[in-house]
Amino acid sequence: MERIFEFLFKYPPLFFEQGDFTFGAPMSVRLWLIIAGLLGAATVASYTIARGKSTVTDRGVMAGLRVLLLAVIIVCLLQPSLILSTVVPQQNFVGILIDDSQSMLLADENGESRNSFINEEFASDESELLEQLSDRFALRFFRFSDVAGRIDSPSELAYEGTHTNLARALDVAREELSGVPLSGLVMITDGADNDNQPLAESLVPLQAAGVPVFTIGVGEESITPDIELGRIEMPRAVLEGSSLTVDVVITQTGFEGSTVPLIVEDELQIIAEETVELGPDGEPVVARIDFELEGVGPRRVSFRIPPQPGERVNRNNARSVQVEVRGEREKVLYFEGEPRFEVKFMRRAVAEDENIQLVVLQRTAESKFLRLDVDDGSELEFGFPTSREELYRYRALILGSVEASFFTHDQLQMIADFVSERGGGLLLLGGHGAFAEGGWQGTSVEEVMPVVLTSPADDPQGFFAEVEVTPTPAGLTHPAVLLGVEQDQVRERWDSLPTVTTVNPISQVRPGATTLLSGSGEQLALEQIVLAFQRYGRGKSIALTIQDSWLWQMHADVPLEDQSHEIFWQQMIRWLVDGVPEAVEAVTDREQVEPGENVQLVTNVGDSSYIEVNNATVTARITSPTGIVEDLPVSWTVQRDGEYSVEFRPLEEGEYEIEVTAERNGETLGSDKTYLYTAPSDKEYFSASRRTQTLRRIADETGGQFYTPDDVSSLPEDIRVTGAGVTLIEELDLWDMPFLFLLLLMFMGAEWGFRRIRGLI
């Protein structure tokens, strides 16, 4: 299309975009218009006078064609031209930025690797393109991947970069060439940026300096056939023995409808395998896989799909995720308002779980409490905690059948803050003293609940219903509801469990809450919400509206060897304490980096009431894989209360242990440990297809052009016309455009043809 345009209009479209249109005739345009008007009038008059056989319409058509012909001639006589600013040859520089990352070695469908274009056009002495560029500009070569820098010639490229950072490449080239007249930058890449640095910040200075970027996109826009493991949703820390349900996004092209195995490995040992059915080409599917991690400490969990026959890229079939398996005993407070069998059976269910300490406080009479599994005689000595320090020692709180009026206003607010500020887990159980029946409406805790409370029933005997529990679609994949069976058997397992009972009619959840179990029964007018949860502030709240889950253990229909009740409660409590923050908590901005990459360590520091502390002395002790210990001070960021940060650069390959300690006035506020894994990255093989959109955007926003290897031949001339630097003004004649000549011929031919048809010749 561009060639046709150039044939008709003598110059490529870019010239017309860049140039200013003008007329070069010696007389003024107005005079020419008057002459043209007179000539046109004479023409029309001559056709009006000479009648012959012609009709009025015939004369009108012929006069019109002749006037148009005259108009074209007048335009030519006006000497139209383009005023163009072009760069002065050999007085300007062009920066050529070449992608030096691993993805440039990927082969296209024709078998040629992406870098073959670079070898042919930029590294070869026989390259016509390079010759044309060299003739016009002084060339400066850059390579870029995760870092960018000058090179003398493209032959120095090794294609070993494990990241691609387009923004950084543009920044480096612009800064390096800031002192010379720069006509533009040429960027040769597949555009697969995997460092996610915002481009806009790098494009604005280029726009301001008027430096256009010409992008040449190499590689295919779609790699087919290929399977790629995408995002993996997995917590960074789990309690030992917890069931993990992990979502893995799988994208593919060319394997529509086929099934592939998804394998999970922990230290080279297969711990789970799932068969995944792939969807339509290009559409990602989310595979959900369950497994448990045994043994305490940091782990690398690998997910992979074995290479499939004919697959183009194999290295994007596997991903690893760093996770810390914690062995602590998580302390959970269960406050029950009256003797109930839930206490007995919940304790039995988690008794063998070494990671859970279920502290029970059971009110047995007014102001009389039974304390179980407390650490010492002073714990909960006076009943339910009355201070934040006392309550916040626990990572989760379970409230049984206890009416709201038992608590003081401060205690109710404290429970709400326990979730929102401390980030603890709150589980509310059904019972006569729970929810609306326990007078919880209008309290601070009602807001925290994931369910909507309605007024209690008028019936003096109260509401009572038997409930058949069934998992919702969301519940079918939630670890707390899986009951230790395969996903396709979860519903069946729940169906096999006996009915339970409720005295709290609850049929609505709050906006944003998720229902995992629902219930139905003869005495229920609406579907009962049995298990629902929501995030609230830093923590989460869960409502289990039944009152006798112990029937899942005790009922005659449940075989003695059935472990559903035990698994349910173990997973429930593990879920409850999962992700509950410590007063001092350290986290790195990335869980895996390459040796030499900078890492940001962020630490949140609070006191025993979880109030942010800004005047703490925070130290990070970093132990490298070979045991080299380095202590780094971590400074308050000022931007956020209680947030401290430090940047460091791990140089060794392997696992770094980072222990952060916070002190204030000599008193230890707390400490936390986190891990960082350093290893060469496979990022370059993920999402490695050409990003045409990104490259077009760079070109469009800077006034450059986007090319593919097929249409790159016009690049030297385009830079000459559009580039910045030292320029001169060129005037390009347009009167001899073939298009005008064709117009003349067309109008003349049209009149002749018209006359022939109408028999006027």
**DSSP H or E run through 587:** strand 584-588
| SS3 state at 724 | coil
Q: Which residues pair with 253 in a beta bridge?
A: 226
Q: Which residues pair with 662 in a beta bridge?
A: 618, 670
Q: Closer CB to other proteins, residue 45 or residue 351?
A: 351
Quote the least distance from Cβ 556 to other proteins, whole Å.
4
- What is the C-alpha to C-alpha distance for residues 161 and 178, in angstroms, rounded to an integer? 25
Q: What are phi and psi of 201, to 5 degrees?
A: -65, -25
Quote the least distance from Cβ 564 to other proteins, whole Å.
13
Candidates 322, 272, 266, 318; CA nearest to 295 is 266
Q: Which of residues 341-380 bind other proteins (CB under 8 A)?
A: 341, 343-345, 347-348, 351, 360, 362-366, 368, 370, 372
Quote the least distance from Cβ 433 to other proteins, whole Å.
9
274 touches other proteins by CB under 8 A:
no
- What is the C-alpha to C-alpha distance for residues 351 and 357, in angstroms, rounded to an integer? 8
Q: Closer CB to other proteins, residue 466 or residue 730?
A: 466
Candidates 672, 609, 605, 541; CA nearest to 392 is 609
Q: Closer CB to other proteins, residue 152 or residue 366?
A: 366
554 touches other proteins by CB under 8 A:
yes
Q: Closer CB to other proteins, residue 150 or residue 348?
A: 348
Q: Closer CB to other proteins, residue 167 or residue 546?
A: 546
Q: Closer CB to other proteins, residue 81 or residue 401?
A: 401
Torsional class of 748: left (φ above 0), alpha (ψ -120 to 50), beta (otherwise)? alpha
Q: Closer CB to other proteins, residue 41 or residue 554?
A: 554
Select from 331-339, 408-416, 582-590, 664-672 the region that touches other proteins (CB under 8 A).
331-339
Those residues whose C-beta lies under 8 Å from the C-beta of residue 513, and which sit 6 or more positions away, are 450, 451, 532, 533, 534
Chosen residue from 5, 32, 464, 741 binding other proteins by CB under 8 A: 464
338 touches other proteins by CB under 8 A:
yes
Q: Which of residues 559-578 bind other proteins (CB under 8 A)?
A: 560
Those residues whose C-beta lies under 8 Å from the C-beta of residue 140, and which sit 6 or more positions away, are 93, 94, 95, 96, 150, 176, 177
Residue showing tokens 């603890």: 424
Candidates 646, 707, 741; CA nearest to 121 is 707
State the pairing for strand pair 318-326/237-239.
parallel
Candidates 398, 467, 473; CA nearest to 481 is 473
Chosen residue from 550, 569, 575, 707 binding other proteins by CB under 8 A: 550
Select from 27-35, 409-417, 551-559, 702-710 the region that touches other proteins (CB under 8 A).
551-559
- 3-state SS of 84-150 is EEEECCCCCEEEEEEECEHHHHCECCCCCECHHHHHHHCCCCCCHHHHHHHHHCEEEEEEECCCEEE
How many residues in the shown chain lie near other proteins by CB under 8 A? 40
Q: Closer CB to other proteins, residue 146 or residue 548?
A: 548
Q: Closer CB to other proteins, residue 362 or residue 534?
A: 362
- What is the C-alpha to C-alpha distance for residues 322 and 301, in angstroms, rounded to an integer? 6
Per the CB < 8 A criterion, the answer to whether 660 and 671 are in contact is yes
- What is the C-alpha to C-alpha distance for residues 442 and 419, in angstroms, rounded to an integer? 17
Quote the least distance from Cβ 372 to other proteins, whole Å.
6
The encoded tokens of residue 130 equal: 């390079």
Quote the least distance from Cβ 343 to other proteins, whole Å.
5
Q: Closer CB to other proteins, residue 335 or residue 685?
A: 335
Neighbours of 303 (CB within 10 A): 22
Chosen residue from 555, 621, 664, 755 binding other proteins by CB under 8 A: 555
Q: Which of residues 465-484 bind other proteins (CB under 8 A)?
A: 466
- What is the C-alpha to C-alpha distance for residues 761 and 758, in angstroms, rounded to an integer? 8
Chosen residue from 504, 534, 553, 592 binding other proteins by CB under 8 A: 553
Select from 86-94, 252-260, 279-287, 497-505 the region that touches other proteins (CB under 8 A).
497-505
- What is the C-alpha to C-alpha distance for residues 337 and 342, in angstroms, rounded to an integer? 11
Quote the least distance from Cβ 345 to other proteins, whole Å.
6
Quote the least distance from Cβ 524 to other proteins, whole Å.
14
Q: Which of residues 423-452 bind other proteins (CB under 8 A)?
A: 431-432
Quote the least distance from Cβ 426 to other proteins, whole Å.
22
For the stretch 702-719, what's the b/e string if a residue is b when 16 or more beta carbons lie within 10 angstroms of its beta carbon? bbbbbbbbeebebbbbbb
State the pairing for strand pair 330-336/318-326.
unpaired
Chosen residue from 339, 579, 581, 595 binding other proteins by CB under 8 A: 339
Select from 27-35, 334-342, 387-395, 533-541 the region that touches other proteins (CB under 8 A).
334-342
Chosen residue from 139, 485, 558, 760 binding other proteins by CB under 8 A: 558
- What is the C-alpha to C-alpha distance for residues 514 and 568, in angstroms, rounded to an integer? 18
Q: Closer CB to other proteins, residue 173 or residue 500?
A: 500
Q: Closer CB to other proteins, residue 320 or residue 401?
A: 401
Candidates 437, 415, 417, 436; CA nearest to 427 is 415
Q: Closer CB to other proteins, residue 314 or residue 496?
A: 496
- What is the C-alpha to C-alpha distance for residues 671 and 640, in angstroms, rounded to an integer? 19
Quote the least distance from Cβ 551 to other proteins, whole Å.
7
Whether the ω angle into residue 212 lies within 30 degrees of 0, i.e. cis, is no
Q: Can you list the alpha helix ranges (DSSP code H) found in 375-422?
A: 388-391, 409-420
Chosen residue from 100, 146, 353, 548 binding other proteins by CB under 8 A: 548
Chosen residue from 340, 395, 422, 683 binding other proteins by CB under 8 A: 340
Q: Closer CB to other proteins, residue 343 or residue 542?
A: 343
Select from 11-19, 272-280, 549-557, 683-691 the region that touches other proteins (CB under 8 A).
549-557
**Per-residue mark of binding to other proteins, 394-413 (x: CB under 8 A):** -------x------------
Q: Closer CB to other proteins, residue 398 or residue 669?
A: 398
Applying CB under 8 A, the residues found at the interface with other proteins are: 337-341, 343-345, 347-348, 351, 360, 362-366, 368, 370, 372, 401, 431-432, 461, 464, 466, 500-501, 503, 547-548, 550-551, 553-558, 560
